[in-house]
Structure formats: C-alpha cells, structure tokens
C-alpha cells in the first residue's frame, strides 16, 4: 500500500507570512484529506493569494510548515492563477495552451508526438472542452477559458489543485459548470481541490471543508462547524451574527462594522444557504 495514501494531501501548520513589515498570515493551520474539496473563503485582502503562493513555494514563510503528500510544496501541484487575460489576437488554440502545461517550461517549439497529442486530447475531454479545442483561446468565453486553464494545470497529473478566484467575473451558468467540473474531478480522479473565493454560495453543494480567512487568521472545518456566530466572532475579533432566513444564512457584524480590508461583512457575498 502507498504510504502517502494515509497522509493528508496538504498540511499547513502555524503558517505565518510577513511582507514589507506587514503580517499577512498569522499562525494559519489546516489539513486536507486526499480527494477532498475545500473552499478558501475570505474578502479581498484577507490573505488568500498569499496562502496559495506559500503552498506553491513562491512566498517564503516567516514561520510554520507546509507539507504535501508525495512531495515538497510546489511539487505535484497544479495551479490556476487569478485574473487570466488572453489577447484575442494571440494565435494559440485552446489545445495549444493545454499542451504548454506539459512542456511550456522548455525552450523551442514542441515536436509532434502521438503520446503528447493523446494526453492533450484526454485532458480536453476531462474538462469537456473538445468542442472548442481548435478555437483561439482569446476568442473563448470566461468559462471556456477557465476549463482550458484547469486542463493546463491538470495535464501533469498533480495530486493537489490550487485555484485562485476562478469564479470571479463568470456568469452564474459558467460558475455552476466550473464548480461541477471540479467536483467530478475530485470524485473520478481523486484530486484534492483548494479553491479560493469571496463567495461561498456556489461551493456549498460540493465542499467537504471550508477554510475561512479574516485579518490573516483562519478557522477550518465543515461549513456547519465554521459558519457560526461564536466562531466567526472570535475570528474577526468583534461580534458577528449568523442569521438564517428561509434556508439561507447572512453573516453580518452588528452595526455594519467594516472588516480591516474595508469590505462590509454584510456584503451579499457572505450570504449562503446552509445545507
């Protein structure tokens, strides 16, 4: 039996990060089981991107540890970055971008190879992108581009997939399609997904776990365990109410108190149904 099968796919322990003298993450800790789907939830400026970049090995922590089953941080990890923009005149097709996930780090033009073509075709099929595989990537919709970038990130068969705000600027239909696609990948391929978002709503049907970030600190667990007034009040450092109305929940600070990043806690992104 593979010894890594019993290990967490990702273990973050007491992680702290300071940039330019400012504490971004403060003793953050959580672990993810293999094949699980976790939402990394927080307002803009809460430290989500810094956490993902730390896991990738692109940011050096000031304290704590990060352990990934099967390798060090940055190895065997797929990554879909935030705010991908493609020039509509760029000549690359969707299948070309997916193929760059295999050999884009090398110099020169990739040589034709049957095994490479088969791998690219398999990944396009896995994300249901065959129908636009030969279109220029700059001509695709936001949801189609996200499918292409997910295939690009998965083509080297990572065990862990990190996605930084992949649902931002997508319409509701595209959001549902991307979330459904990622959920199927966790079920069929056993990939562990850590997806950052400021809105937990679209993720609630598929999340096994939530990591909620505020002021550089985090709480983690199931949605029912974390999205509670007492837990979030302790995280934010002031009183938080969690109000359930007609099967939905509103996370709000008494008196409309703003978070340190300037976002109101009663902003609609914090409205979410509890399953």
pLDDT at res. 263: 39
Q: Residue 154 CA to chain centroid, in angstroms?
A: 13
> Strand pairing partners for 161?
78, 193
Exposed/middle/buried for 121, CB within 10 Å: 0-12, 13-18, 19+? middle
pTM, full prediction:
0.84
Determine the Cα–Cα distance for residues 208 and 221; give it in Å rounded to an integer.
8
Determine the Cα–Cα distance for residues 244 and 224; give it in Å rounded to an integer.
12
Determine the Cα–Cα distance for residues 28 and 220; give it in Å rounded to an integer.
10
pLDDT at res. 69: 74
What are the residue ranges of CATH 3.40.50.300 in the chain?
1-76+159-236
What's the count of helices (H) and strands (E) in the chain, helices before strands?
7, 12
Determine the Cα–Cα distance for residues 24 and 233; give it in Å rounded to an integer.
20
pLDDT at res. 74: 55
pLDDT at res. 256: 53
Spell 173-188 as b/e; 16+ CB within 10 A means b.
ebbebbbebbbebbee
- Contact present, 45 and 59 (Cβ < 8 Å): no
Helix H or strand E encompassing 240: strand 240-245
pLDDT at res. 49: 94
Q: Which of 153, 160, 143 is nearest to 97 (CA)?
A: 153
At 218, give phi and psi (nearest 5°): -140, 150
Q: What is the DSSP letter of 111?
A: P
Q: Can you tell me whether residue 137 is helix, strand or coil? A: helix
CATH no. of 1-76+159-236 = 3.40.50.300
pLDDT at res. 144: 92
pLDDT tens string for the chain (275 positions)? 455 557 899 999 999 999 998 999 999 999 999 999 999 998 888 999 999 999 999 999 999 999 987 566 555 799 999 877 787 788 899 999 999 888 755 444 555 688 888 999 999 999 999 999 999 999 999 899 999 999 999 998 888 999 999 998 888 898 999 999 999 989 988 899 999 998 888 898 899 999 999 989 999 999 899 988 999 899 988 888 887 776 566 778 765 544 333 334 443 334 444 44
Question: Could you give the dihedral angle defined by the CA atoms of residues 250, 253, 257 and 263, in that order, rounded to the nearest 10 degrees?
Answer: -40
Q: Which of 123, 216, 201, 125 is nearest to 161 (CA)?
A: 123
């Amino acid at each position: 039996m593979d010894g890594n099968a019993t290990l967490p796919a990702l273990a973050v322990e007491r992680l702290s990060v300071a940039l330019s003298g400012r504490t971004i993450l403060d003793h953050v800790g959580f672990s993810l089981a293999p094949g699980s789907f976790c939402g990394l939830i927080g307002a803009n400026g809460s430290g989500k991107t810094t956490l993902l970049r730390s896991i990738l090995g692109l940011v050096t922590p000031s304290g704590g540890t990060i352990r990934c089953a099967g390798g060090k941080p940055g190895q065997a990890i797929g990554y879909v970055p935030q705010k991908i923009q493609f020039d509509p005149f760029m000549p690359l097709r969707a299948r070309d971008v997916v193929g760059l996930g295999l050999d884009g780090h090398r110099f020169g033009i990739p040589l034709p190879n049957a095994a490479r073509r088969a791998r690219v075709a398999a990944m396009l099929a896995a994300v249901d992108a065959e129908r636009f595989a030969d279109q220029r990537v700059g001509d695709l919709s936001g949801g189609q581009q996200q499918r292409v970038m997910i295939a690009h990130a998965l083509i080297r068969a990572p065990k862990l997939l990190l996605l930084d705000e992949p649902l931002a600027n997508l319409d509701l239909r595209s959001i549902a399609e991307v979330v459904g696609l990622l959920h199927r990948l966790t079920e069929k391929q056993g990939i562990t997904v850590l997806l950052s978002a400021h809105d937990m709503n679209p993720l609630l049907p598929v999340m096994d776990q939530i990591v909620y970030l505020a002021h550089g600190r985090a709480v983690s667990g199931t949605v029912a365990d974390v999205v509670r007034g007492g837990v979030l009040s302790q995280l934010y450092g002031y009183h938080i109410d969690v109000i359930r109305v007609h099967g939905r929940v509103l996370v709000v600070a008494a008196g409309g108190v703003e978070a340190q990043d300037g976002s109101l806690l009663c902003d609609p992104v914090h409205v979410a149904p509890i399953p």
